[in-house]
Amino acid sequence: VMVAGAVEGDFPSLTRPEPMFDLSALAGIRSRSEINRFRLADERRLFRSAVARARRRVVLTASDPHGMESDEAVASRFVEELGVAWARAPMEMAEDPVSVGEAAAAWRRTLGDATLEAPDRLAAVAGVLALGEDPGRWWFQREWTAQDAPPKEHLSLSFSRLDRLENCELQFVLGDELGLDPGGGYQAWVGRLIHQLIEDVENGKVERTQAAFIEALNERWQEPRFPSYAVSEAERRHAIRVLIPNWFKRYADLPAEATEQAFRFEYEGATIKGKIDRIGPVPEGGRRITDYKTGAADNADRPAESLQLGIYYLAVNECDDLAPYRPVDAVELAYLPGKKGKWELVPLSWQVSGAEENYKAMMRERLSGLIESVRRLDREGRSAPSTTARCFFCRFQTMCSRYPEGGEVFPVATPISLKAAAEANP
């Protein structure tokens, strides 16, 4: 019989679960010492029952917690009652390691054992080096890491980060600075897939026909990313019947000048980077910066106030490698699904021509304020939720004081002065 974990106080309880309201408890209140004696009697009865089942022998095991000098400090007292002495578990290693990790650990142990012969320890050194181990990375060779805050690296910002910051400081800190956002769900994956397929069509990797687009979509579709087969099919059919036809109606006959165009420019000590979905002609004429949206347009932002389009417009004017795409006449948000129930593409555009300087000045001022907010958050180390934030898709409501589930677990009353208390209770 093997009794694993013969440790003091860790035996399973044999006492029946007591109801919340037990009339028998009114007959008398047991002291703590009586409760401990009853528990000890239960454990002794369980231990003897387990030991009595053995026909030949019993093997008892117990772990020695870190920092405890003596086995008697944790081993069950019932073992002593049997007159059995505890012995340490054998530490014999297998003659030949079965993995690289085991070999490295075994040879490091040999190397660190001062009681072994020098040839054995030198052989261990050769083995460790042959495995490519770096002794400089081993534990117990460095002092404790300083608790000072790490120096802030050069700011590198994108629209997505700045958009979350503009929406809510707390969301920005939790999601971007601390990296607690698990990422988008299946809707975000569908959006990325559609963007990739559009890029492949524009670059000639996929034939510029609806049939080829749909075939490529079906080939790359990944059902396991969705919560169920029904949801997967609904999203796939929506893409085939709505998103793809809407894109072809507007953009199929007008190839883009640039697709997924990367940019990077310096602004007030920060690097602003990202990718522009499309730069090119549109049926209305002129050259536009377009950002594709795979969500419905029911609650769409006004293009003239879109931070995303503003950053893209600044990028085209700031980056030398984007000079061939100047001038830009307009910016637009292309909602491929349209509005719910209608499902016709909704291109929301704003004509920049005639208001270039005012538009650039407005966006530069907005961008400057956001960069300063990032530096302030880093400097002060404090963030607060915004009372005007759009919280529907926020994943941090359980950590936000605006919501009951994000409040204090044990609220602490605000202390008041004796004078205020006397005035409140005359």
How high is the pLDDT of residue 85? 80
List phi, psi (to 5°) of 256: -75, 150
How high is the pLDDT of residue 422? 58
How high is the pLDDT of residue 72? 46
CA 14 to chain centre: 42
Closest C-alpha among 250, 242, 389 to residue 332: 250
Query: How far is residue 426's CA from residue 416's CA, in Å, rounded to a whole number?
Result: 15
How high is the pLDDT of residue 150? 59
CATH number of 186-370: 3.90.320
How high is the pLDDT of residue 228? 94
How high is the pLDDT of residue 166? 94
Tell me the whole-structure pTM to 2 decimals.
0.62
Q: Where do the domains of the chain lie?
A: 2-19+29-81, 100-136, 186-370
DSSP result, 203-269: TTSS-SSHHHHHHHHHHH--GGGSSSHHHHHHHHHHIIIIIHHHHHHHHTTS--SEEEEEEEEEETT
CB 295 within 8 A of CB 337: yes
Give the model confidence (pLDDT) of 69-111 as tens digits: 544 456 778 887 888 888 877 666 666 788 888 888 888 888 8
Lookup: tokens for 102: 């085991």
DSSP-derived pairing of the beta strands 59-61 and 2-4: parallel
How high is the pLDDT of residue 88? 78
Count of helices and strands (H, E) across the chain? 13, 8
Closest C-alpha among 241, 189, 228, 175 to residue 396: 175
Residue 334 β-bridge partners: 292, 347
Segments of 302-364 assigned E as strands: 330-335, 346-351
Give, for all 426 residues of the chain, the pLDDT tens digit: 787 777 776 676 666 566 666 666 666 777 778 877 888 888 888 888 888 888 888 888 887 665 555 444 567 788 878 888 888 776 666 667 888 888 888 888 888 888 999 999 999 999 988 998 888 777 766 677 676 655 566 788 999 999 999 999 999 999 988 888 877 789 999 999 999 999 999 999 999 999 999 999 999 999 999 999 999 999 999 999 999 999 999 999 999 999 999 999 999 999 999 999 999 999 999 999 999 999 888 878 889 999 999 999 999 999 999 999 999 999 999 999 988 888 888 889 999 978 889 999 999 999 999 999 999 998 888 888 998 898 888 888 888 888 887 766 666 666 555 555 556 565
Query: How far is residue 7's CA from residue 128's CA, in Å, rounded to a whole number?
Result: 38
